[in-house]
Structure 1
Amino acid sequence: MHQQSDYVPLHLHTEYSLLDGAIRINELIKKASLYKMPAISITDHGNLFGVIEFYKAALDAEIQPIIGCEVYVAPSSRFEKKQIQGTDEGTYHLILLAKDNKGYKNLVNLVTRAYTEGFYYKPRIDRDLLIKYNEGLICLTSCLKGEIPFFLQRGMIEKARSSADFYRELFGFENFYLEVQDNGLPEQAEVNKKLVDLSKELNVGLVATNDCHYLMREDARAHDILLCIQTNKTVADKDRMCFNSDEFYFKSPEEMKEAFKELPEAIINTRKIAEKCNVRFEMNLNLLPVYEISDGRTPDEFLEKLAMDGLYRRLGDKVNRVYKDRLIRELNVIKEMGYSSYFLIVWDFISFAKRNNIPVGPGRGSAAGSLVSYCLGITDIDPVKYNLLFERFLNPERVSMPDIDVDFCKVRRAEVINYVAEKYGKEHVAQIITFGTMAARAAIRDVGRALGFSYGEVDKIAKLIPNAHNITIEDSLNLEPRLMDIYKTSPRIKELIDIARRLEG
């Protein structure tokens, strides 16, 4: 690790802490590079959605990525749906950082179980899961909503001590740290004093973090609006969720050293923890299974037989040289690129669906340009008839996996997924997520609502955004003079648009 900053951020929420974190990963990495940080962590609330994007961006900038998560811990069993006694809180917070690939796998197991077994308002784990999946993990005690800070804030010293003993024994002395924070909140100052005392008493290390939720101090207002959007409140609502400070931003090493000048070891320990962490991913591996044919034929041979049979089944005596040449050309490309098994697997699960009367869509996207797909019954669109290009779907000059979009009846879609997992192995099957982001008009409407604008007023502003694909608010200001005019003349509307610009996308 290069001799750079002594401070490493170990508690940080990106935009993947949905409607709570407001830090875009690309902007974060640029800032970390500016601050000459040797490493940086991601610890989103209850999920690992942003890990791969973060990992790639950090490595590209020659910064060490530290993979973590701020998990939610149930006060008793994850199966019990109840809140912490005497509060409206349902969980404690806890920071877990992966030291190595074993730790990362355990983190994945914990987060998965939190959703599938412990979900109650939030995805929750419990101590039983931590006992099972703690290897390769470093544990930090998190913010004021962490278990130990929670007890200390309420004067429950013995409970705090007992919890600290549990985590120290579970993770080991060298992998457990008491987390001190200073976001300008008086409660933190009081809890920090007690954490220092507990650290001395139990001989447990301290670590300084800043619980970053937005990039710059001036983003605090936009972040506050984001919380309003999440909770469906307006800024005027009393007793709404808010942070009561503008210091949850990505602070510089100098700012953190100044904040913890009385506890220099808490800064030094951030670097020590970073030096313990080394998760490495093997990217772009081909994990496709080989399609097994019982009579000994290869996937290439079987695909060619199915495709030729399918061509005559589809067209009968209308088969001509144009179709045959096109089919042979496509088959040669598929074979050369090693994707015969992929086509056979897709053909197989679509055939399963049709045999079991599960409705299947006719095909969409670039796969509709493949005659092989049409002959196999994967799609129902004749690409020759409609002059569709195979090269848009699969091109030897652009080496990338083919992507066949298939639509199944949503009621019975799970049957198809289960069939594929059982036949080809769960290790070869995964579901992926798609995130919706706030487009320009939606950002204007959501921010306007949170700021207390009337529906009519915000609707007029939103309708000034030109109706163009992927247009931004910045583009709209340049293209629409009426929008620029109200932006320049109305301070209220200027604030709305400035915040929406920060949150869109």
Structure 2
Amino acid sequence: MIPLRIHTHHSLLRSAVAVKSLVEKAAEYKLSALAITDYNSMAGFVQLAKACKENNIKPIYGVYLDDPQKPEQYICLLAKNREGYNDICRLITSRKLQTDFSLGASIRGLSSNLFAFSASPEIVESQNNNPFFFVELIDSVYYKKQNKILFDYCEKHQLRYIVSPSVYFLRKDDFILYQVLNAMRIKGTVENLEPEYQHNDLWLKNPSDVEKRWQKITGASENTELIAEQCSVDIELGKYKFPEFQLPDGEDAYSKLYGICSAGLSKRKTIDRQKANERLLYELSVIKDLKFLDYFLVVWDIIESAKKRGMYFIGRGSAANSIVSYAMGLTGVDPLEHDLYFERFLNRGRLSPPDIDIDFSWKERDEIIKYVFKKYGYEKTAMICTTVTFRGRSAFREVAKVYGFSDREISKFSKFIPWTSAANLPEIHNLYPESRNLPFDKEPWKSIVLLASQLGGYPRHLSIHPGGIVIAPDRITNHVALDYAQNKGLGLVVTQTDMYSIEDLGLVKIDLLSQRSLGVLKTTLTMLNEE
């Protein structure tokens, strides 16, 4: 039996399962494959791929897709191949971005690149003619009645079915953590949780035990293995993906970038021409070998657009070590004069892509972001999300809150918790002077901090990266799913994966950052010129 429905902590505040711990447990059970199906999210796909590779387990990429108007209606989708992976990304994006999204309409005529299963009666009925659909029989005592009804329906209509573990926590003892997270999500207390959160057997059980319980239901376990065998997706981690910069016929990226840099250096009056050209040719050879010519041309295009708009900007960080950056006008520091080491920015042995940060005035940055979206295509461009995780103070506050303590009571203690990992909470009185008088060795605080300490690193919610923007060579939903960014009404979209997973996927980001000081400087100079 292969578990095909597992919700991880990327189903925000719904599950107590961390991806890495999940795969380690799967290895302990000697599983050959497993799937994650997070709620309307693929944020954990990259973590799953990396962890499964380390443990020689096949990753199966899936999603739990529900209807926003009728959340009890859902379908789980599993990618059979790369096209199925793309389909999942697109469906999640539709679910997140379309205000009139309808699950029933979206899954009508599902792709043959996807396996699907559900226990929702309306969905089961609508998928009767889908040869890749299975009815879900949930391995839980709380679903016995539902399973009997669905099994009889399958027998009557000759439908295939699978046994599903429906995992929300990893071990039996994690049930209380699962309840705590869901109490946070619904802004309630653990004591007053609805019956649906009292199901204490939704943990990852030993597959052999599950098989024994379902051995009389022919095919329930075997069909999970059949599905797992036919799912094979390579998401090509580490293979860089960047769009080709559009050039006139007959002109190539190397010649274009060389011409830009040569023209730029000719305007620098104090530079040593011979040394500058030698350094330029060397840097361009490295950039070409690493296949980042188009990346630098896109950066050049962005700063040229900013210049035409009269914007103030400056490139910073290790990009200032590059004479290409200097020649393009990205930076104003001569790396030869200051003996700056190019290899700190980019070299043939570096595994990560170049990291270029461009600061704009806080008043103008949004305008340049809109330019990038318009120039390179809304279907190819997105801002990058950042995952806000629980730290010591936030974990303590939120756990205490779901146990019924008021903000006033919580603040008496939380103000003495420094900026630290949640894992430090049980011993915090021994670690920090300001925390030495906290009564965390006495109940109820002892139990609260013990639970809070387990939330360290768990995603709390998604936000937007300060300036990271990514441009894909094709539709960005062929790589990641998207969500809306709550950003000043711009209506921009963000990736569901954070910057680390974006880099693992080979998508190259550019940081377009907002600097208040540049805005103040421009305003000041404008006022002086007016006088």
Fold shared by both chains (TM-score > 0.5): yes
Contact in 2 for aligned 1:109/1:133 (Cα 8 Å): no
Question: Deviation at 1:224?
Answer: 1.4
In the TM superposition, what is the alpha-carbon distance from 1:355 to its structure 2 partner? Answer: 2.2
1:233 matches 2:188: yes
Distance 1:318 1:278 in 2: 55
Question: Following the alignment from structure 2 to structure 1, what is the Cα–Cα distance between the partners of residues 295 and 14?
Answer: 39
Q: Which has the higher helix share?
A: 1
Alignment partner for residue 8 of structure 1, among 2, 12, 25? 2
Alignment check: 8 A CA contact 1:363 1:381 kept: no
Residue 215 of structure 1 is matched in structure 2 by 170
Partner amino acid for 2:450?
D
Instruction: Give the 5 Å matches for 1:461-500.
Output: 461-467=413-419, 473=425, 476=428, 479-480=431-432, 489-500=441-452
- Correspondences of 1:55-454 after superposition (within 5 Å): 55-73=49-67, 83=69, 89-90=70-71, 92-118=73-99, 124-142=101-119, 146=120, 148=121, 164-169=124-129, 171-172=130-131, 175-185=132-142, 188-236=143-191, 238=192, 243-263=197-217, 265-294=219-248, 296-313=250-267, 315-317=268-270, 327=280, 329-356=282-309, 359=311, 361-379=313-331, 389-406=341-358, 409=364, 411-422=366-377, 429=381, 431-454=383-406
For 2:196 and 2:105, the matched residues in 1 are separated by 32
Separation (CA, whole Å) in 2 of partners of 1:38 and 1:20:
26
| 1:253-305 Cα deviation digits (max 9, x unpaired) | 13323543553532222222222322233333333344455484543333233
Helix, strand or coil: the match of 1:105? helix
The CA distance in 1 between the partners of 2:412 and 2:110, in whole Å, is 53
Please, what TM-score do these two structures have when normalized by structure 2? Answer: 0.75
Q: 3-state SS of the aligned residue for 1:69? A: strand
| 1:46 maps onto 2:40 in alignment | yes
Q: What's the CA shift string for 1:367-386, capped at 9, x where partnerless?
A: 34434223312345666677
CA–CA separation in structure 2 for the residues paired with 1:47 and 1:477:
38
Closer, same or farther: CA 138–331 of 1 in aligned 2, 3 Å: closer
**TM-score under structure 1 length normalisation:** 0.79
- Three-state SS of the structure 1 residue aligned to 2:162 is strand
Contact 1:110 1:133 in 2 (8 A): no
Aligned residues: 454
**Structure 2 Cα separation of the partners of residues 202 and 439 of structure 1:** 51
Cα deviations by residue, 1:422-478 (Å, 9 ceiling, x for unpaired)? 4xx956x55543222112222222222222334354345444444469985478566
C-alpha distance in 2, partners of 1:469/1:200? 52
Render the CA deviation track for 1:7-43: whole Å, top value 9, x for unaligned: 1101111121112122111111110010011110011
Give the letter for the 1:345 counterpart. Answer: V
What residue ranges of structure 1 are gaps of 5+ in the alignment?
1-6, 75-82, 84-88, 149-159
Q: 2-side partners of 1:472 and 1:445: how far apart?
A: 15
Aligned amino acid, residue 447 of structure 2: E
Say whether the 8 Å CA contact 1:363–1:406 is kept in structure 2: yes
- The answer (yes or no) to whether the contact 1:44–1:70 under 8 Å persists in 2 is yes
- Shift of the 165–489 alpha-carbon distance from structure 1 to 2, 3 Å rule, reads closer
Per mean C-alpha deviation after superposition, the further-off stretch among 330-339 and 469-478 is 469-478
Q: 1:241 to 1:442 in 2, by over 3 A?
A: farther
Q: Separation in 2 of the partners of 1:452 and 1:369?
A: 55
User: Alpha carbons of 1:448 and 1:375: their partners in 2 closer, same or farther (altered >3 Å)?
Assistant: farther
Q: Name the CA distance, whole Å, in 2 between partners of 1:258 and 1:23.
A: 25
Q: What code does the residue aligned with 1:235 have? A: V
Question: Which amino acid letter does the alignment assign opposite residue 167 of structure 1?
Answer: Q
Distance across 1 between alignment mates of 2:270 and 2:94: 56
**Which structure: greater strand fraction?**
2
The percent of aligned pairs where both chains have the same amino acid is: 29
More deviation, 282-291/58-67: 282-291
- Encode CA deviations 1:214-256: one digit per residue, 9 max, x unaligned: 11111111121111222233334x4668611221211111332
| Higher RCO, 1 vs 2 (CA within 8 Å, ≥6 residues apart) | 2
Which letter does structure 2 place at the counterpart of 1:131?
Answer: R
| Aligned residue number for residue 153 of structure 1 | none
Q: 1:8 to 1:389 in 2, by over 3 A?
A: same
Q: Does the residue aligned with 1:96 lie in a helix, a strand or coil?
A: strand
**CA distance, structure 2, for counterparts of residue 326 and residue 473 of structure 1:** 52
Assess if the C-alpha contact under 8 Å between 2:16 and 2:169 holds in 1: yes
Q: Is the 8 A contact 2:423 2:456 kept in 1?
A: no
Gap regions ≥5 residues in structure 2: 458-531
Once residues 437 and 484 of structure 1 are traced to their aligned partners in structure 2, the CA distance between those partners, rounded to angstroms, is 25
Asked whether the equivalents of residues 439 and 472 of structure 1 are also in contact (C-alpha less than 8 Å), the reply is no
Q: State which drifts further: 288-297 or 399-408.
A: 288-297
Seen in structure 2, the aligned counterparts of structure 1 residues 272 and 296 have a Cα distance that, compared at 3 Å, is: closer
- Separation (CA, whole Å) in 2 of partners of 1:115 and 1:231: 20
